[in-house]
Amino acid sequence: MDKWDKRFMDMAGLVSSWTSCAREGRAIGAIIVKDKRILTTGYNGAPSGITTCREKGFCMRDKLGIASGTCAEKCYAVHAEQNAICQAAKLGVSVEGATLYCTHQPCTICTRLIINSGIARVVYRYPYPDEFSMQLFAEAGIKVEQFTDVE
């Protein structure tokens, strides 16, 4: 890891603070970078035009007792990685060969999108209990690194 990785991980952390997720500990941020330039950002939150969980005053997953890492479809939020990739598509920005910096290890659903978008490297800070996503990354030949702070 180098000073640029630290800068971009710090930025992903800042972006995570924009979350509209009401679930405790679920502020996730992602940025896509190429040639030391930020292409797009993403945070977890409701799709455009949809009332957010914070605005609703509750997390549907908490209300239904859904455990973390299960039933991803039962959530108003779009994941940070998905939002960063969608923003690139909306703006017509290629992410081919880019690096995705994310506060948390991507889930399997996000991993599939990352693979198909052409992102070449993923750097995350916090692990997530999803071994299958790591298997997919390995099979696709995408470099995945857990961030460790540098001086």
C-alpha separations of 58 from 51, 64, 75 in Å: 11, 11, 11
85-88 long-range Cβ contacts below 8 angstroms, 24+ apart:
85/32, 85/40, 85/42, 85/113, 85/114, 85/117, 86/42, 87/40, 87/41, 87/42, 88/32, 88/39, 88/40, 88/117
Active site residue 131: no
| CA atoms within 13 Å, Cβ hemisphere of 33 | 21
Per the residue annotation, which of 24, 55, 73, 81 is the catalytic one? 81
Structure tokens at 116: 């198909």
If you write DSSP's letter for every residue of 103-120 in order, what string do you get?
Answer: EE---HHHHHHHHHHT--
Amino acid at residue number 143? K
Active site residues: 81
